[in-house]
Amino acid sequence: MKKVAPILLAFMLGTGFLLPAKQAAAASYSPSKVISTAKKYIGTPYRWGGTSPSGFDCSGFVGYTFKKNGKSLPRTAASIYKKGKKVSKSNLKPGDLVFFHTYSKGVSHVAIYIGHNQVIHSVSQGVKIDSLSNPYWKPRYVGAKRL
C-alpha cells in the first residue's frame, strides 16, 4: 500500500492539473480575439496550400487564426463547412465563417465575418477585408456557419 499511495497521489495531481488547462484552452476562444488575430495578418501574401504567416491560402488562414485562439479546424474550406451550426446571412455575427464557391461547384473558399457586412480572408491579393456586397463575392455566397 505504501508504494501505491504515491503513484495514486501523483496520478490525481497530474489529472487535476491537466483538466484546468483543457478548460482554459476552450474558454480562451472568443470571436473578437479571432478577428483581432486575423487583422494582424492583413497584407500577408497568398500561397496555395499555405498555412503560416509566410503565406496563406483561404483555409490555411482561417485554420491558423482559429488555432491561435484555441479552436482546431479541418484543413479545407469544404471540410470546415461540415462543422458548426448553419447561420442565415441576416443573422451573421463577428467570428462566423462565411463560405463561397469559386473555382468549383461546391464550397471552395472560406472567410471570417468581421461585422458590418465585411469578411477577412486570404485571396490572390493576400489577406484582406472585403464586403459581402462585392460584385465578385456576392453571387458566389454559399452559406455561413457558427462554431
| Enzyme catalytic residues | 58, 109, 121
The neighbouring-strand residues paired with 46 are 56
For residues 34 and 69, the answer to whether their CB atoms sit within 8 Å is yes
DSSP 8-state secondary structure symbol assigned to residue 120: E
Task: Tell me which residue of 70, 75, 55 sits closest to 127, measured CA to CA.
Answer: 55
For residues 44 and 58, the answer to whether their CB atoms sit within 8 Å is no
For residues 76 and 108, the answer to whether their CB atoms sit within 8 Å is no
Write down the H helix ranges in the chain: 4-27, 31-39, 58-67, 77-81
Question: Residue 125: phi, psi to the nearest 5?
Answer: -85, 0
For residues 74 and 61, the answer to whether their CB atoms sit within 8 Å is no
